[in-house]
Structure 1
Amino acid sequence: MKNIVLATAFTFALGTTTAQAQFFEGFSGEAALTGSKTTGNTDTTDAGLALKLEKAGENWTHKVKASADFGESNDVTNKKRYALGYQIDRQLTDRSYVYGNADYFSDDFGSYQEGYFLGGGYGYSVLVDSPVTWDLEAGLGFRSQKEQGVLGVREDELAARYTSDFDWVFNDNVSLYNDTELTYAQSDTNIWNETGITSQIAGNLAARVSFRVDHHTDVPVGIEKTDTITRVGIVYTMK
């Protein structure tokens, strides 16, 4: 079921090989690379890669995001998470729009091993003038997520989704973002929040520090409800 839903969503969005090339023309966005290395009493390695792209037309906006986080402690893997998402917006007015979105994640050490969401809804831009922008979204969709382990239970159900996307550009060199997403369903409610500060270094390069909290209300026995991740890295802006 998961493969059919994801394949249908992304095939519809990207189309044929020729259409794919045309689809990716005109995108702008950023690629971020994070990492850390500790040696001594504990040998740890953490690395992360994130991609965020957007293409805005007169009425339609395409958004693509992808991320990967990997970690080792004393040669033992303790972090391995991948996420992929696509959203398409159809502008209704200067401030309002409707959207459809598909998201997938795989996490070997999180509250749930894997899951996906496919849905749509309504968005409204509360603040549109620089230096502060703020978008809110609310929608419904189908969510599926599987508990950790070979015998982990999979829950397939309808879910409600709410998001907040807040950005504040302090000046030409420093900006802040705060993103929140809440997905409510009968078996489990997931809410995450990420805050980051970006500072320009030179040209298209910037430094970024971010902190994310990911919380589930209902998890299997022995699994923590809350995960956090702190990232420090370099961001490359593509225009």
Structure 2
Amino acid sequence: MKKQMLASLIALSLSNVAFAQDDEVKPFTMEGELGFISTTGNTDTTSINAGITAHQELENWSNDYLVEGLYRQETTEDENGDEEDVTSAQKFFASAQGNYKLDNPDYRLFGFTSYEDDRFSNFNYQATVAAGWNQKVLKNKRHTLEYSIGPGYAFVETQEGESQNSMIIRASTVYSWKISDTAKFSQTASTEIGDENTKSRAESALTATISGNLSMRLSFKLDHNSQVAEGVEKLDTETAVSLVYNFF
């Protein structure tokens, strides 16, 4: 009987260790994404989207970093019927958010900054700094949900060189659902409300592991500006299938 009890205790201890290792939070994670589409024939196009996301988990800080870009080139005919290569999309976006943990680590103070250069939008550039309150409202084995809200300032220059700097209120949410050991769904959304413009971004992504650190991701992005020049679309969308490599 004693031997059986001892064996049971050892097995239970080993399972707890394994469970702890599976749920252990890594201090730093980073993954790179790359998508490429080339078409020939009646329409010749080349599209490339790439990005790097990273997360850093420290004792007092929880930090997120994002860099992404999009480039598209098309072959068209000019007025004389000659073919020429034309760039139809060229976009760069980078952001960083640091969350300082309070006594309750689910309650944080955040600082955020971002920069966007979209050659074919209404703006030469859009940059943001903001700070405020961040909170994790849901956290278990399958689901996580957090939000951030606070005041900030937007630095904006239009294609005509006009400055549209203004105070803003920034709000964002990040949701993650671990569907299985090899698949996950994520949803991000943010809005920056200002006197001159309200800028909103959202992304829905489904990621499935192919093998080891290599995954495939299907994503749909929305980028909306409330105030744009005549002839410029307020809403940009992007649907992509990409390969993702988990470095750490």
Q: What TM-score, normalized by structure 1, do the two folds share?
A: 0.86
User: What is the rounded CA distance, in whole Å, between the counterparts of 2:214 and 2:92 in structure 1?
Assistant: 24
After TM superposition, the structure 1 = structure 2 runs for residues 1-239 of structure 1, keeping only pairs within 5 Å, are 27-74=28-75, 75-92=85-102, 93-148=104-159, 151-239=160-248
Give the distance between the partners of 2:40 and 2:163, measured in 1 at CA. 39
1:134 Cα deviation (Å)? Answer: 0.5
What amino acid is aligned across from residue 31 of structure 1 in structure 2? G
In 2, distance between residues paired with 1:31 and 1:139?
29
How much has 1:191 moved relative to structure 2?
Answer: 1.3
Structure 2 counterpart SS, 1:154: coil
| Contact 1:147/1:220, CA 8 A, preserved across alignment | no
Question: What is the deviation of 1:86?
Answer: 1.7
SS of corresponding position for 1:177: strand
Q: Which moved more, 1:88-97 or 1:163-172?
A: 88-97
Q: Quote the offset at 1:152 in angstroms.
A: 3.2
SS in 2 for 1:223: coil
1:29 CA displacement: 2.0
**Structure 2 portions without partners, runs of 5+:** 1-26, 76-84
Separation in structure 2 between the aligned mates of residue 185 and residue 226 of structure 1, nearest angstrom? 17
Moved more, 163-172 or 52-61: 52-61
Amino acid at match of 1:57: L
Q: Compute the displacement of 1:61 (Å).
A: 2.0
- Corresponding position of 1:7: none
Task: Say how many residue pairs are matched.
Answer: 212
CA distance in 1, matches of 2:241, 2:123: 25
Deviations along 1:209-239, one digit per CA (max 9) or x if unpaired, are 1001111111111111110011111001122
Q: Give, as a single letter, the amino acid of the residue that structure 2 aligns with 1:142.
A: Y
Aligned residue number for residue 5 of structure 1? none
Q: Under a length normalisation based on structure 2, what TM-score does the superposition of the two structures give?
A: 0.83
Q: Which amino acid aligns with 2:74?
A: S
Residues 195-216 of structure 1 show CA distances to partners (whole Å, capped at 9, x for unaligned) of: 0100100000000010011111
Structure 1 residue 193: deviation in Å? 1.2
Q: What SS does the aligned partner of 2:69 have?
A: strand
CA distance in structure 2 between the aligned counterparts of 1:154 and 1:38, rounded to whole angstroms: 39
Which amino acid is 2:136 matched to?
S
Q: CA deviation at 1:168?
A: 0.4
CA distance in 1, matches of 2:132, 2:37: 38
Distance in 1 separating the partners of 2:74 and 2:47 = 9
The root-mean-square deviation of aligned C-alpha atoms, in Å, is: 1.1
How far is the alpha carbon of 1:62 from its aligned partner? 2.5
Runs of 4+ in 1 over 3 A off after TM superposition: none
